[in-house]
């Protein structure tokens, strides 16, 4: 661990600072220190961020950097960083760049050799995942799905076989439609979690099948308000090892009587597995046998 006193803001550095997603108590002491001592804070919405900064008695000047001006402004900010200024980047909530502005600035700063220093903290996706009870070893974050129905369904159709936990951000206006599409395309029985208003007064984390969640949200207008993360369990995969153990046993028997190619061909016909995979496995078995 590093002593926080060794971490006083460095000139010519860009700090990417995570801010709360609801509960102000989640702003880290390090974030407060950095936001107080940098020369300027680049904020997505200066009016919104001023309230946060006032709460912590932070008086650092703000500059607005949002999706409409970021490309134009980033080169100027990088020039100032190169000249030795220190700058912190924040968004309205959570971690900048995660479905939020900042990508152009960070990319340009790194290309210019500016030191970019992350100050980690809340992000709705990790917050939701950590309490969801769904598999966390492999997950895919898709951010916001397309707003238009046809494009949204096309994206979901690409994702429904993925074995990783799927994490989505969804607007409260589209949550009913989105859950209905998910239930239809992924199957109503697939396990899912709706995480709403995390870290806030009406925090709700509910797990159920997609069909149950879709019905529950459609029937209760309160569940159609606020900020929402949706998580869907990955598509169950066939138990590969069991299949290959059985296939291997079959191959071993066939190899007692037949050449490799024929044994693989017959095993493929019997098991429905890929002929090339079985041929490769049969070759390995034969090599092991022949020493």
Contact between 21 and ligand SAM (CB under 6 A)? yes
Q: How far is the CB of 139 from ligand SAM (least distance, A)?
A: 14
x/- binding map, residues 143-182, to ligand SAM, per CB under 6 A? --------------------------xxx-----------
Find where tokens 């990088």 sit. Answer: 78
Nearest CA to 279 out of 290, 269, 264 is that of: 264
Task: Find out whether 289 and 255 touch, Cβ atoms under 8 Å.
Answer: yes
- Among 227, 234, 273, 281, interactor with ligand SAM by CB under 6 A: 227
168 to 47, 51, 227, 229: CA distances (angstroms) = 27, 28, 12, 6
- Residue 91 interacts with ligand SAM (CB under 6 A): yes or no: yes
What's the distance, Cα to Cα, between the start and end of the chain in Å?
52
Binder to ligand SAM among 229, 251, 267, 278 (CB under 6 A)?
A: 229
Q: Please check whether residue 283 is in contact with residue 260, taking contact to mean a CB–CB distance below 8 angstroms.
A: yes
Position 108 contacts ligand SAM (CB under 6 A): no
Q: Which is nearer to ligand SAM, 76 or 173 (CB)?
A: 173
Contact between residue 199 and residue 122 where contact means Cβ atoms under 8 Å apart: yes
Instruction: Tell me whether residue 198 or residue 254 sits nearer to ligand SAM (CB atom).
Output: 198
Count interface residues toward ligand SAM (CB under 6 A).
24
> Which residues does residue 130 pair with via DSSP β-bridges, in sequence order?
none
- 224 sits near ligand SAM (criterion: CB under 6 A): no
Place of tokens 């459609």: 218
| Alpha-carbon distance values, 117 to 10, 107, 110, 196 (Å) | 10, 13, 10, 30
Q: How far is the CB of 62 from ligand SAM (least distance, A)?
A: 18
Q: Contacting ligand SAM (CB under 6 A), which of 16, 114, 195, 233?
A: 195
Under the criterion CB under 6 A, does residue 198 sit at the interface with ligand SAM?
yes
Q: Where are the beta strands (DSSP E) in the chain?
A: 13-17, 40-43, 62-64, 87-90, 115-119, 139-144, 165-170, 191-196, 204-209, 228-232
60 belongs to the binding site for ligand SAM (CB under 6 A) = no
Q: How far is the CB of 271 from ligand SAM (least distance, A)?
A: 44
Question: With respect to ligand SAM, which residue has the nearer C-beta, 38 or 198?
Answer: 198
Rule CB under 6 A: choose which of 100, 142, 181, 211 binds ligand SAM. 100
In the bound complex, which residue of the shown chain has the CB atom lying closest to ligand SAM?
94
CB contact set of 5 (below 8 Å; sequence gap of 6+): none
User: Which residue's CB is nearer to ligand SAM, number 203 or number 277?
Assistant: 203
Structure token pair of residue 86: 């220190």
Q: Say whether residue 124 binds ligand SAM (CB under 6 A).
A: yes
Residues at the contact surface with ligand SAM, assessed by CB under 6 A: 21-22, 91, 93-95, 98-100, 123-125, 169-171, 195-200, 227-229
């Amino acid at each position: 661990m590093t002593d926080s006193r060794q971490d006083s803001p460095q000139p010519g550095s860009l700090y990417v600072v995570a801010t709360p997603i609801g509960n102000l108590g989640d702003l880290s002491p390090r974030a407060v220190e950095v936001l107080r001592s940098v020369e300027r804070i680049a904020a997505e919405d200066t009016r919104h961020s001023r309230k946060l900064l006032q709460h912590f008695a932070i008086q650092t000047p703000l500059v607005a950097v949002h999706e409409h001006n970021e490309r134009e402004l980033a080169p100027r900010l990088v020039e100032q960083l190169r000249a030795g200024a220190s700058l912190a980047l924040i968004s309205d909530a959570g971690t900048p760049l995660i479905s939020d502005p900042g990508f152009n600035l960070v990319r340009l700063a790194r290309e210019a050799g500016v030191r970019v220093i992350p100050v980690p903290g809340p992000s709705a996706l990790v917050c939701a995942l950590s309490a969801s009870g769904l598999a966390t070893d492999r997950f895919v974050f898709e951010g916001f799905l397309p707003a238009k129905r046809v494009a949204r369904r096309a994206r979901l159709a690409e994702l429904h076989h993925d074995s990783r936990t799927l994490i989505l951000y969804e607007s409260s206006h589209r949550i009913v439609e989105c859950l209905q599409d998910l239930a239809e395309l992924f199957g109503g029985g697939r396990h899912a979690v709706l995480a709403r208003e995390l870290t806030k007064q009406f925090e709700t984390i509910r797990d159920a099948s997609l069909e149950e969640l879709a019905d529950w949200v459609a029937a209760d207008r309160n569940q159609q308000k606020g900020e929402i993360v949706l998580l869907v369990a990955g598509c169950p995969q066939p138990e590969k090892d069991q299949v290959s153990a059985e296939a291997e046993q079959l191959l071993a028997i066939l190899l007692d009587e037949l050449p490799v190619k024929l044994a693989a061909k017959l095993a493929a016909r019997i098991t429905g597995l890929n002929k090339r995979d079985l041929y490769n496995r049969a070759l390995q078995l034969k090599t092991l046998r022949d020493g």
